[in-house]
Amino acid sequence: MLRTIRSRLALSFTLLIAGLLVVMLALTSWLAYRMLSDLRPRIQSAFEETQTLNEKNVLLNSAGYLGERLFPPLFSLNISGINREIEQIRGWLPIQSFVVADSERRILTDGSRRNPRYGQIVAIPSELLPQQPILTSQPDGSELYFTIGNGDRIAGYAAVRISDVALQTSLTMLDQEVTRLWTAYARSLMLGAGLASLLVALVTSLLIWRLARLASEPISEMIAAAEGIALGNLDIALPVRSDDEVGHLALALNTMAQELKVSQRRMRHLANYDTLTGLPNRHLFQDRLRHATQAADRNGTRLGLLFLDLDEFKSVNDSLGHGLGDEVLKLAARRLRETVRSSDTVARLGGDEFTVIAERVKGPEDVEALATKLLAALELPYRVQDHDLTLSASIGITLYPEGALSPEDLLRNADDAMYQAKRQGKNAYRLFDPKQGASIEKQLSLEQMLHKAIARCEFELHYQPQLDAATGDLIAVETLLRWRNPQELIQPSDFIPLLEDMGLITRLTKWIFSESCDRLTEWRADGLSDLRLAVNLSALQLAQPSLLPTLEDILQATQLPPDALEIEISEQTMLHAEQGEEAVDRLHRLGVRLTVDDFGTGASSLAHLHRFAADTLKIDRSLISEIATDRDSANLTAAAIALSRQLGIQTVAKGVERMEQWRSVREQGCDMVQGHLISKPLQADGFLSWARDHVAKGHEPEHFDRTREPAQEASSNGQD
């Protein structure tokens, strides 16, 4: 009986203890479950905040770099250059739209070829400041606004709409991974708790305590690591204690931190080095220039800054392709590095512009000696893709501290000196002269005005007749471009070279041909049935892929015979055989006549005339102006006319201003004459009236023999 009672008491006590242990285990399990449940949203929130903050920081940090990349082409208003930069940026960021505007917030380009929003006003936040980009959240992404400029100087703005699809996908996958891991871990915990309930009280209690400890410690470590990453500490390395879900999660967090470190290093490299040449870019160059000037101040030394620009590089790029142009830039960068001292800095600012910082120089003679070496290195032939190219460079030089007191002024002065070197013949260097500043500022202002002139259609065509030298009959008329600027009279010699250097001349090609061919059709119908039309093309226009289709369409629309149209190219363009030979052959197959303009201004070669099968040769006014007084000019003109006749090539004497010049070229056998003696360039209606009067009166050459002062005939080079 007592044993039974004891047994019952023992059983009851055992059951009681067991029940208490079960309740304690259940309570402990429930508490552990609640703790894990509370930890789960914290983990997800911490990871999402980390990922979102990192994306925001990357975008804001990228804005300064993007603004500096876009500054060179925007500053020079090189729309195609801006489009190429936008195309590269689209490879780095998930961009929905990218708009670049000028300082007046007018859209210059959206990166597309059609550019439908050109000229529209883009909404830019009024609080946007230089080097302080603004990032706003949108329902389907973010809007990034930043300035484009140099220091505090704003050249324009950019508005970028960035899709958050990739970010949302990443966050969704992260939430799913945390949920999966948490569910698996909770299932494992509950299974362990169930098994532990079968053990004795002490072992069960210790096991539950141990499980709780194991569950909370790794999660707490990961939360602390995630918060540290959010603050920018990417050197965190979590211990991976197991191969289970918690271990996998710790390993994933370590991997994410390492990838962020690699991404940051890559972004820092992209922000400081040019991706094509490996040279320091504008951002790093400015930093090194600032440190160099500070070191010069501390040590009482001088430094030289050289600004280099490759001559005629744009023509190489447009005619032979950007791939070949990139190879030329890499070769040029290598030659620059090999020529300077190891202590000097060579940087690429963008396009074909390079700079060299030469520290601890004694004076101008040291920098001039370096410039001479650089010119010689860059002038060596470039063997690229089976092409042998010869380029030169123009270099501007300024010294610190006498050249300027700030790095910004130092760079600006070197840039001005480089422009002066270009204007004085290229393939040369020039030391900065403060007197140059006004002319450079005028040129920059003129470039801005040209962009607006094209948008406002301020250009018009004038026409100058060409007469038979023997009979005075009207043979042809040359189309000349004029700028109807409302503020001032701008000479063709001032704006046409700029149009060509900036690449804007190609935007006028179709309009020039369409307008002038329409006029020729009207004049032929009005009685001038045999009249020919001459249109001058630059090297850039000749290299346009759309040139031949455009001419074919216009000739078909106007029903003009192809030989009624003459294409004039300068002697310099003709000598660049690789750039023009194929285009000239296609024009010949179309039936269009070819005229070589300005013969006698360069390295003249009549062999090239035969090679290009030229129909007409125009002798430059520099020879014609002295033909009656200078024996050498007369002999050169006579030789060119005689050899042209043997080759079956007609000749035109250009710039005839006096009757004795007409008589001289006529006696030498020249076919046609053109110049202010006959008529100045006229608007379309004025030319038609002149032509009617000329035909009606049957003017012989002697009718033009009148006493007059030589008129200033605009330089040719195309639509002058």
pLDDT digits (tens, 9 = 90+) for 155-182: 899 989 888 776 677 667 767 776 777 6
pLDDT at residue 242 is higher than 90 = no
- What's the whole-number mean pLDDT along residues 143-148? 88
288 domain-assigned: no
pLDDT at residue 618 is higher than 50 = yes
Same domain, 343 and 491: no
Among 136, 167, 198, the domain boundary falls at: 167
Same domain, 160 and 178: no
pLDDT of residue 697: 80
pLDDT of residue 10: 43
537 domain-assigned: yes
- Phi first, then psi: give them for residue 323, nearest 5 degrees: -60, -45
Same domain, 201 and 93: no
- What's the whole-number mean pLDDT along residues 406-412? 91
456 domain-assigned: no
pLDDT at residue 5 is higher than 50 = no
Same domain, 531 and 671: yes
425-444: buried (b, 16+ CB within 10 Å) or exposed (e) per residue? eebbbbbbeeebeeebeeee
56 domain-assigned: no
C-beta atoms surrounding 552 within 10 Å: 12
pLDDT at residue 223 is higher than 70 = yes
Domain containing residue 680: CATH number? 3.20.20.450
pLDDT at residue 656 is higher than 90 = yes
Domain that holds residue 406: 295-432
pLDDT of residue 99: 93
Same domain, 471 and 560: yes
* Overall number of domains in the chain: 4
- What's the whole-number mean pLDDT along residues 305-329? 87
pLDDT of residue 171: 66
Q: Which two tokens stand for residue 223?
A: 């939360």
For the chain, give the mean pLDDT. Answer: 81
DSSP, collapsed to helix, strand or coil, labels residue 711 as: coil
Residue 483's beta-bridge partner residues? 459
pLDDT of residue 46: 66
* Cα dist from 242 to 141, 239, 251, 257, 454, whole Å: 39, 9, 10, 19, 70
Domain containing residue 341: CATH number? 3.30.70.270
277 domain-assigned: no
pLDDT at residue 4 is higher than 50 = no
Confidence band of 272 (pLDDT split at 50, 70, 90): confident
Dihedral angle, C-alpha 251, 252, 258, 263, nearest 10 °: 170
Return the percentage of the chain with pLDDT > 90, whole number: 34
pLDDT of residue 623: 87
Same domain, 307 and 265: no
pLDDT of residue 32: 65
Confidence band of 560 (pLDDT split at 50, 70, 90): very high
pLDDT of residue 49: 67
Among 414, 432, 450, the domain boundary falls at: 432
pLDDT at residue 659 is higher than 80 = yes
290 domain-assigned: no
pLDDT of residue 175: 73
pLDDT of residue 373: 96
- What's the whole-number mean pLDDT along residues 479-505? 79
- Pick from 10-14, 379-383, 395-399 the range whose average pLDDT is largest: 395-399
pLDDT of residue 710: 44
60 domain-assigned: no
437 domain-assigned: no
Confidence band of 718 (pLDDT split at 50, 70, 90): very low
Same domain, 578 and 588: yes
Same domain, 547 and 654: yes
DSSP, collapsed to helix, strand or coil, labels residue 112 as: coil
Same domain, 543 and 673: yes
Same domain, 401 and 495: no
- This prediction has a pTM of 0.48
Among 387, 416, 432, the domain boundary falls at: 432
Residue 528 or residue 77, greater confidence: 528
Same domain, 468 and 504: yes
Residue 47 or residue 456, greater confidence: 456
Sheet holding 302-311, edge to edge: 345-350, 353-361, 302-311, 392-400, 428-431
pLDDT of residue 690: 95
DSSP, collapsed to helix, strand or coil, labels residue 101 as: strand
Confidence band of 717 (pLDDT split at 50, 70, 90): very low
pLDDT of residue 708: 45
- What's the whole-number mean pLDDT along residues 238-247? 72
Same domain, 612 and 678: yes
* Single-letter amino acid code for the residue at 331: L
Q: Going by C-beta distance under 8 Å and a sequence separation of 6 or more, which residues neighbour residue 52?
A: 167, 171
pLDDT of residue 685: 94
